[in-house]
Amino acid sequence: MNFLNKDTLIEVASIGAGVVSGNFVANKVYDLLPASVTSAVTGYEGFVKGAIPVIGGLLLPKFGGNSPIVRGIANGMIASGGAKIVDSILEKAGVDTSKFVINGIGCNYPTPMNGGDTMMSGTDTMMSGIDAGAVDTYSDYSYDTSSASTGEMDY
């Protein structure tokens, strides 16, 4: 069963293109709205910027045809707008959407993703968090631990 066939790759690429185009369309159309409209939606910009690609994604197959590429782009636009709307709802509810949480565990990534400059500095090694007893026979943290008694190979 080959799931990476041509049709799947076209679908993935078209959905990705839809997400990018949905963000582009949302920003461009919102910038074209008259000041009377944008002032009326102050505080709800995220909802409006989310609704624009959703509407575009719903209308695209009607005007652009029903090919798999057009359907994928439309689905990506709808996903992009839906994500903006959900993000706006969460922000209105007081949820900090800048931090990702998976099963209650915060994903505070090591330095480069948090604005630092070095992924594996002298204090952030791949052995960080492992008790000293597991690595006390090796003086160098760059040693190949796949053959050591660190737990990976203990069957």
Our CA dihedral for 50, 55, 57, 60, rounded to 10 degrees, sits at -150
Longest dimension (CA), the chain: 71
H helix and E strand count, the chain = 5, 2
Which residue would you say has higher pLDDT here, 126 or 19? 19
Arithmetic mean of pLDDT, 99-126: 49
Predicted pLDDT of residue 101: 53
Summarize pLDDT for 91-108 with one digit per residue, the tens: 888 877 666 555 455 555
Predicted pLDDT of residue 41: 82
pTM greater than the 0.85 cutoff: no
Angle (nearest 5°) at CA 31 between 69 and 100: 65
Arithmetic mean of pLDDT, 38-61: 89
Considering only CA atoms, give the Rg of the chain.
Answer: 24
Q: How far apart are CA 87 and CA 120, in angstroms?
A: 32
